[in-house]
Chains A and B, each alone.
Chain A
Amino acid sequence: MKKPHIYLISVFLSILLIFSFLVTGLIALMHFKGMEADTCLQIVQDKQLAQAVHESLTQYFTDQENTTGIPVSVYENSITAEACETIIRDSVKNGFSYLNGRTAKVGTEPDFSVLEQDMRAFFEDYADQHKIEKNASYEIAVKESLTGAKAAILNACDVYRFRTLDDAGVMSKAQHVLKWSGFLTIGAGLVTLLLILFLFMTNHAEGRHGFYWTGISLLIASLLLLIPARWLIRTCWFDRFAIKTDHVFAAVTGFLYSLTEAATQMAIVGICAAVLLLLFLLMHIHVYKKETIRTAKH
């Protein structure tokens, strides 16, 4: 270390660069992985959420039979695992479209014509059998039952709770932030490049030191990302979340584990890049030394 002030400036810039790498990495992770519907759709498929939602709805309508008297068989035609999957997928796509500002409102309007037809047929039969007059109050009761059933299905299929988050005002806040996520990624990337440039400029007398500082900054940033990510995965930390609904639990923790896995992969790529950079530096020093010895001999 020839000049202490250059070392201290490099340490300072390196600390900034570590945070810059971390911020860039995390913003990019959210932008490219976290805010993409495909991530959640993959979880829906991997965790077989449609099947879980179907079972949950069947249980719900079985319980409801005790109160409403509508047998669960009325729903069997329309509420299948396939139908649930379609609604879940549409709900996820719509949720992310809304977050990314591509649609104006949260929520889908699935085709409930089969359900409506089956429920109306059941009510008609029941009314005929029990000589119930089909007047305005009958129509209101049918409509209420239909609305209740549709709401229950939509609620169960909204596994990421986009509607509830929207009602709580979270979606609009997230939408506002995410509008800038692309610019933030580019901005953070530019700041990182600028800091690397400053490090090389600070160490311009010995250009190879720029590789050293960049290399160790990238290595440390990657370790700071890798260590917590591995810890979260190894300890199954997200499994401790107490979300009572099974399929919502699977959806949320699946998403969080997916992001953590992506962070791990990003950190490993970072470590590899840092090691390559440091190896390049060592090779450079080795070649430089050889050349110096050769020049001295001549």
Chain B
Amino acid sequence: MSEKAKKRGGLLIYLLTPLLLLILTGGVLALCYVLAPAHQLQKYLSLAFMDNLKTSSASSGLRIIEDEIDMNTPDKTYDEGKIIYPTFGEQYAMLEAKTINLTVGVYYGVTSELLSRGACQSTGSAIIGEGGNTVIDAHVNTYFSDLEKLRPGDEITLYTKYGIFTYRVTEQITFDKTDKRYVAVTDEEYLTLYTCKPQVLGSSDVRIGVRCEPVDRKFKQKAAD
């Protein structure tokens, strides 16, 4: 090999060496990233920020849906029908209690944000019209301020997208916030409405409300439709 060719070969090696080193070290770093227990860091981040710091393009947080609910009775209704199940954060009913002049939207799920918008149904309770205990609460200083004025015999109507359900108050209830008696799942159909007992010195531990039994149900669609 001539001296010139040798020199050219040497120069080429010195020019290609940085590229080789870049690929080698970059590869090692990429491997370290895959193998390193960096994911354990997420555990601490989750603890600190009440979230998992997930890198996702999907939106997070509460998604509130507010559809208009028709409060007129349709021409044709059915005793049994199809229930449209709500999603968390969806306003899926309107609650009407004419005796206390109350009309308020009912959201599925209970969060402070939803409570600021209307009454909220506990997700552990029965969907309206499904049978079982439907539990709805709201703040005493806003929507349920007059709840204690409801008396046995008063009528309450829940308007949903899929039907209209009427209940009658059977008893006024008072219970401790730790007492699950009235908010527990039941086989019999009830509507339980409750709020905090008004108290200014800190939040109240006592809940007041009413328990109602169903008197009428009108579905807009047959179950088979």
Do A and B truly interact?
Answer: yes
Within 107-151 of B, Cβ neighbours of A (below 8 Å) are at 112, 115-116, 139-142
The verdict on B37 contacting chain A, using a C-beta distance below 8 Å, is: no
Distance to closest chain A CB from B201 (angstroms): 4
Q: Is the beta-carbon distance between A1 and B48 smaller than 8 angstroms?
A: no
List of A residues within 8 angstroms of B49 by Cβ: 161, 164, 243, 245, 248, 252
Q: Is the beta-carbon distance between A242 and B21 smaller than 8 angstroms?
A: no
The distance in angstroms between the C-alpha atoms of A96 and B142, with both chains bound, is 43
State whether A63 and B116 are in contact (beta carbons under 8 Å apart), knowing that A1-B10, A242-B51 are contacts in the complex: yes
List of B residues within 8 angstroms of A168 by Cβ: 44, 47-48
Within 194-224 of A, Cβ neighbours of B (below 8 Å) are at 212, 216-217, 219-221, 223-224
Distance to closest chain A CB from B141 (angstroms): 5
The verdict on A186 contacting chain B, using a C-beta distance below 8 Å, is: no
Distance to closest chain A CB from B209 (angstroms): 15
Question: Interface 1/0s, chain A 153-174, versus B by CB < 8 A?
Answer: 0000000010011011010000
Q: Is the beta-carbon distance between A66 and B115 smaller than 8 angstroms?
A: yes
The verdict on A24 contacting chain B, using a C-beta distance below 8 Å, is: no
Interface-lining segment among B56-64, B71-79, B211-219: B56-64
Q: Is the interface of A mostly helix, strand, loop or mixed?
A: helix
How many contacts A-B (CB < 8 Å)? 110
List of B residues within 8 angstroms of A70 by Cβ: 200
Q: Is the beta-carbon distance between B44 and A240 smaller than 8 angstroms?
A: no
Q: Is the beta-carbon distance between B18 and A216 smaller than 8 angstroms?
A: yes
Q: Is the beta-carbon distance between A66 and B116 smaller than 8 angstroms?
A: yes
Interface-lining segment among A14-22, A34-42, A105-113, A177-185: A14-22
**Minimal Cβ-Cβ distance residue in A for B52:** A242
List of A residues within 8 angstroms of B56 by Cβ: 240, 242
Binding site for A on B (CB under 8 A): 9-10, 13-14, 17-18, 20-22, 24-26, 28-29, 44, 47-57, 60-61, 112, 115-116, 139-142, 196, 198-203
8 A–B contacts from the bound complex (CB under 8 Å): A66-B116, A170-B48, A220-B25, A224-B26, A241-B51, A242-B52, A242-B54, A243-B49
Q: A15-B25, A63-B116, A224-B29 are in contact. List 7 more A-B contacts (CB 8 A).
A: A66-B140, A68-B202, A69-B141, A224-B25, A224-B26, A240-B55, A243-B51
